[in-house]
Amino acid sequence: MRKPLLGAVLVASLTACTLSSGEPEEDGERRVVLVTHDSFAMSEDVLTAFREESGITIDVRKLGDAGALTNQLVLTKDSPVGDLAYGIDTTFASRALDEDVFEAYRSPAAAEGPQRYAVDDTDRLTAVDVGDVCVNIDPAALAAKGVPEPANYADLTRAEYQNMLVVEDPATSSPGLAFLLGTIASLGDGWREYWMALRGRGVQVVSGWEEAYTQEFSGSSGEGPRPIVVSYASSPAAEVAEDGTPTTKAALDTCFRQVEYAGVLRGAANTEDARAVLDFLLSPEFQSQVPEQMYVYPSRADVELPETWQAAAPLPESPAEMDPATIAENRERWIDEWRALVQG
């Protein structure tokens, strides 16, 4: 998917294959089918407390990354595969809205912060988390090479960073696409020349985040050969030494704002309870667990980050942003142009 899943795995009490009904079971149990991305995880205690309080069991089906999830929702919109979807991100939001996949619903909790990330004024998608994509660096590895830490996009084209950067393919990776969009949003028409410069500096392109971060990046457990990687602003929170000091950094002037949304599926079997689950996704109980379970930032403004995050992974203050409609209109053309420039 789009982030390091270093927290708890999906708890066994969530049934990944229950898709056929949002109606009450024979024993009176109410079920909501939540379709989501591969990185979904949450504390079993939080989920159990919600079930005991509401009487609703959440059944989860993982449908791949944000792109695969969106494609599946579009293909099945006349016969929805669930009641609620979570994980549509900034890069695919407009496509889901254009295809009329979701129905309108504004949670009472939206005013606590999520509404500031609204895609439009239709209330069909509600922001649940933020996962800004940024260049990450391994300071120790750079220091060993006698090279300063890069701070912005332009720095990465300098000769001293030859063969040091690994990025994900924007055609196959959500963070790879977000990084491409960040260069376009920040550099305008100059983005093409920029990528040609990166190609000249030996940028390595791999298919996805897992390979880039855990195999090629020197600052991760894989101890790869490259000290600069495209990852997340939150990634340094997962790379903390025993004394509490982060061992990697995010270059905050290279960040692109990526928001993940949830929405009630149009034609869902259990609309009322799906709305209750969406409310739950915005609750302080769920939101407070989002950083450590899924390594993203909560969308609520009143939920504090864990103490280690405040030092190692603060939320970027001025990330590059782009209107989702602009992304939808140009995404495929930009990817094709990128391929021609970088992969020949």
pTM as predicted: 0.84
- The Cα–Cα gap between 241 and 247 comes to 6
Please state, rounded to an integer, the average pLDDT across all residues of the chain.
90
Say what percent of the chain tops pLDDT 90.
76
- Amino acid 142: pLDDT: 98
Residue of 75 and 13 predicted with greater confidence: 75
Query: Given a cut of 50, is residue 275 above it in pLDDT?
Result: yes
Residue of 222 and 117 predicted with greater confidence: 117
Residue 317 burial (C-beta neighbours within 10 Å; 0-12, 13-18, 19+):
exposed
- The Cα–Cα gap between 336 and 300 comes to 36
253-268: per-residue pLDDT in tens?
Answer: 999 999 999 999 999 9
- Amino acid 253: pLDDT: 96
Please list the residues that pair with 86 across neighbouring strands.
36, 262
**Structural domains of the chain ordered from first start:** 30-130+258-312 (3.40.190.10), 133-256+315-343 (3.40.190.10)
Q: Can you tell me the mean pLDDT for 42-46?
A: 93
- The Cα–Cα gap between 334 and 308 comes to 37
Tokens (6 digits) for 28: 């009176």
- Amino acid 4: pLDDT: 42
- Amino acid 66: pLDDT: 82
Q: Can you tell me the mean pLDDT for 46-54?
A: 95
Q: Do 133 and 230 form a contact (C-beta atoms < 8 A)?
A: yes
**Of the candidates 222, 223, 219, 242, the residue with the CA atom closest to the CA atom of residue 232:** 219
Tokens 């504090």 correspond to 304
